[in-house]
Amino acid sequence: MELLEAIKTRRSIREFTGQRIPDEHVEMILDAARYAPSPENLQMWRYVVIREDQEMKNLIAEVSMETAREVFGAQPYELTAGRLWYLPDHARPTEFENIRDGSLFEYPKYSDTVVIGFGSEFFHDAHLPYAMSLFGSVVVAMGMHQMWLVAHSLGYGCGWMALAISDYRHKELLCDKLGVPRTWEPIGILCIGVPKEKRMLGPSRFPMEGVMYSERWGNPYRRLAFRKQEEKK
């Protein structure tokens, strides 16, 4: 699969068969994270790879489901339906209930590989000038995105998750269970597995003119095709 095709066809997958992914494919996926960019090549990321510890996968799923019920459980459909704008009208109520009761976030249990990304402001015993909130978290996420693209190109699915580490209690619980030093902070969780079924392409993306500005904010970027068309007039 070509890179541009992988970027355009990548989708979040949250239903897995539970089948085993060959070890050589897992290593190809993990190795991609090492080549992500980082400031001054500091590579201030670490990843914990969970494959055999089913109890840890279950814990991540249960904490995510509990958090979803706390955050979304009491919200009426009318207030959150806008989050599901990309779904057909008939599918929104069911998806909304899956979010409210937390079942949408159970998929870590059935993932072959769960990768937890950690970043740190402290590296080589020196304080970095890159705050996690400004830059450190970004380089970790870029590494995880590279893993995602490689997994997709190999025919596997991935789901990004952050609910399990959305507050300090859950972060401390996870770090304690995994033996993570307090100088390292969990940034995100990538669940990788064999998809139950192929997901349709979508949701649609906003047009380039809606998200890209030319030279100044608010001045829509004009595609090359449109510019050429105007030149012919």
What is the tens place of the pLDDT at every residue in 85-106?
677 777 777 888 888 888 989 9
pLDDT of residue 19: 93
Residues 151 and 226: beta-carbon distance below 8 Å: no
What is the tens place of the pLDDT at every residue in 135-192?
668 889 999 999 999 999 999 999 999 889 988 889 999 999 999 998 898 999 999 9
More confident call, 77 vs 231:
231
> Once rounded to an integer, what is the mean pLDDT over residues 196-212?
80
- In terms of Cα–Cα distance, which of 46, 27, 6, 8 is closest to 136? 46
**Tell me, what amino acid is at 162?**
A
The yes-or-no verdict on residue 203 having pLDDT over 70 is no
Contacts of 97-102 spanning 24+ positions with Cβ under 8 A: 99/68, 99/72, 100/68, 100/69, 100/72, 100/73, 100/75, 101/65, 101/68, 101/69, 101/73, 102/64, 102/65, 102/66, 102/67, 102/68, 102/69, 102/73
pLDDT of residue 174: 93
**What pTM was computed for the model?**
0.87
Q: Which DSSP string corresponds to 102-148?
A: SGGG-GGGG-SEEEEEEE-SEETTEE-SS-IIIIIHHHHHHHHHHHH
Domains detected in the chain: 3-198 (3.40.109.10), 203-233 (no CATH)
Distance CA 227, CA 233 (A): 10
Residues 15 and 196: beta-carbon distance below 8 Å: yes
Distance CA 141, CA 116 (A): 10
Q: Average pLDDT over the chain, rounded to whole?
A: 86
- The torsion angle over the Cα atoms of residues 98, 9, 41 and 178, rounded to 10 degrees, is 30
Could you tell me the strand order of the sheet in which 157-161 lies?
45-50, 113-119, 185-193, 157-161
pLDDT of residue 75: 74
